Amino acid sequence: MEEGASPAHRVMFPLSVFKTKKEAKIPLAMVALSDAPSAQIACDAGLDAILVGDSLGNTALGFDSTIPVTMDMMAHHVAAVVRGVKSSSRPDVPIVADMPFGSYATVERGVENAVRLMQLGAHAVKVEGAEHQERLVDDYIWKGNLLLEVLRQTGVPVMGHIGFTPQSQMVLGRVVQGKTVADASNLLEQARLLQQSGCFAVVLEAMTAQVAHKITEKLLVPTIGIGAGNGCDGQVLVWHDLVGISGKTLKMAKAYAHTRQIWTDALRDYQRDVEEKVFPAEDNSWLMAPEEFRTFDELTERGWVEDDFDNSDPFADE
Ligand code: KIV
C-alpha cells in the first residue's frame, strides 16, 4: 500500500487468493453454487472462492445436462450469488461465472457475454476447452487462443477448464480423461496453452490423478480439481453434492452432510402440523386486544358487518 494511503484507497483484488495459496502451497477450496443464501453461507463458512457453474442447469433447474443453460439463466443466478456474497461477512470472496454452452462460440459473442457477467459482479469467467479459434496464419496454424487473448485485453480474467468438459459431452462422451500417454500429453499441452493465453487458474475435471498431479507440477497457475485426485492446487465441489441434497453421491464428490433427509423430515413434520392444526401456534399469530375483539364479535353476530358491505358478486354481469 502507498505510504499515507488509507484502507479505503486500497484496491481489493479478490482473485489474488488463487496466486497466494498456490505460492504458499495451501490448497484452495471452491464451491459451485447458484443462489444467494448458499453463497452467504459459503462465505461465512470460510470458503476461498465461489463458482457460479453451469451445473446449475442440473442442480437447480432440473435439466439433465448443462447444454440447455442460457446466458439469461446464468445472468439471473450470477446476480443472486453476487448479492449473497455481498451480504456475507466476507464480501470480497471471488466469484467466477461460467460461460454457458454456445455463449463463446465466436470471439465477439464471448466478449459480449463475458462483459455482461462481469458487469453483474463476477470477478472472472470460466470457459471450457483450450482451443478457441485456432487460425491458419500464413500457412501455419496459430496455436494461440484468440478468445482468451481478447478477453484478457478487455480486462476479463479467465479460468480454464479441461478434462471432461460437460458442454462437449455430445462430442466427447462421458469418459474419464488421461488414461493413455497420448491423452495425458494432450491434456498437459492444453493446460500449457491455457496458461500461455493468460488463464489465472485451470479446472481439471474427471481425469486420472497422476496426470492432474503432473499438470499441477508443470503449471505456474493453480489447478482446481474435481474428480482429478488430490494432487491439484485446489478443489471444487458442487454445493448440492457437498451438502447431500440429491441423495446420491458421485464417485468424484463427497457429501459432507446428508441434508436431503433433514429437509424431507422437516417437510413431513410441516404437513402433519398443518393437518393437525399444530401450526401456526399462538406464537406464530397476532391477536386483537380482547375488548376490541369482543365488540367486533358482537357486531358481526348481529349482522352489522354483512349489512354494511356490498357483498354482491362483482363479476355477476360478465
Ligand atoms: O459447472 C460447474 O459446476 C463446473 C464445476 C464442476 C467445475 O464447471
- Check pLDDT > 60 for residue 306: no
Share of the chain above pLDDT 90, in %: 80
Spatial CA neighbour of 109 closest among 166, 155, 150: 150
Nearest Cα residue to atom 5 of ligand 1: 53
User: Distance from CA of residue 287 to its chain's centroid?
Assistant: 43
- Judge if the beta carbon of residue 177 lies within 6 A of ligand 1: no
Cell numbers found for residue 32: 459451485
- Judge if the beta carbon of residue 54 lies within 6 A of ligand 1: yes
Q: Are 230 and 223 in contact (CB under 8 A)?
A: no
| Domain map (residue ranges) of the chain | 13-255, 265-308
Pick the range with the lowest mean pLDDT from 62-76, 176-190, 279-293, 299-313: 299-313
Mark out the alpha helices in the chain (DSSP H runs): 16-24, 36-45, 56-59, 71-86, 107-119, 146-154, 169-172, 181-196, 209-218, 239-242, 259-275, 290-301, 304-308
- Check pLDDT > 60 for residue 296: yes
Q: Which are the contacts of 280, defined by CB distance < 8 A and separation ≥ 6? A: none
- Judge if the beta carbon of residue 226 lies within 6 A of ligand 1: yes
Coil vs helix vs strand at 202: strand
Task: Write down the pTM of the prediction.
Answer: 0.89
Q: What would the pLDDT profile of 84-116 be if each residue is shown by its tens digit? A: 999 999 999 999 999 999 999 989 999 999 999
- Check pLDDT > 50 for residue 176: yes
Atom of ligand 1 nearest to the CA of 224: 7
Q: Is 131 a catalytic residue?
A: no
Atom of ligand 1 nearest to the CA of 32: 3
Atom of ligand 1 nearest to the CA of 55: 1
CA of 41 to the centre of ligand 1 (A): 19
CA of 198 to the centre of ligand 1 (A): 20
CA of 98 to the centre of ligand 1 (A): 8
pLDDT of amino acid 230: 97
Share of the chain above pLDDT 70, in %: 87
Whole-number average pLDDT of the chain: 91
Q: Which are the contacts of 136, defined by CB distance < 8 A and separation ≥ 6? A: 142
| Catalytic residue of the set 2, 131, 134, 205 | 205
- Three-state SS sequence of 40-89: HHHHHHCCCEEEECCCHHHHCCCCCCCCCCCHHHHHHHHHHHHHHHHCCC
Nearest Cα residue to atom 1 of ligand 1: 53
- Judge if the beta carbon of residue 48 lies within 6 A of ligand 1: no
Spatial CA neighbour of 209 closest among 252, 257, 150: 252
Range 73-77, long-range pairs (CB < 8 A, 24+ positions)? 73/100, 74/98, 74/99, 74/100, 74/103, 74/117, 75/116, 75/117, 75/120, 77/34, 77/35, 77/52
Amino acid at 210: Q
- Check pLDDT > 70 for residue 5: no
- Check pLDDT > 90 for residue 6: no
Grid-cell match 494461440, residue found: 144
- Check pLDDT > 70 for residue 174: yes
pLDDT of amino acid 119: 98
Amino acid at 132: H
- Check pLDDT > 70 for residue 142: no
Nearest Cα residue to atom 4 of ligand 1: 53
> Would you call 313 exposed, middle or buried from its count of C-beta atoms within 10 A (0-12, 13-18, 19+)?
exposed
Nearest Cα residue to atom 2 of ligand 1: 53
Atom of ligand 1 nearest to the CA of 54: 1
CATH number for the region 13-255 comes to 3.20.20.60
Coil vs helix vs strand at 6: coil
Spatial CA neighbour of 29 closest among 228, 232, 218: 232
- Judge if the beta carbon of residue 74 lies within 6 A of ligand 1: no
Q: Are 186 and 172 in contact (CB under 8 A)?
A: no
pLDDT of amino acid 171: 84
CA of 297 to the centre of ligand 1 (A): 60
- Judge if the beta carbon of residue 53 lies within 6 A of ligand 1: yes
CA atoms within 13 A on the CB side of 27: 12
Angle, alpha carbons 264-267-269 (nearest 5°):
110
- Judge if the beta carbon of residue 203 lies within 6 A of ligand 1: yes
Q: Are 215 and 21 in contact (CB under 8 A)?
A: no
Pick the range with the lowest mean pLDDT from 36-50, 58-72, 164-178, 254-268: 164-178
Spatial CA neighbour of 162 closest among 112, 223, 116, 239: 223
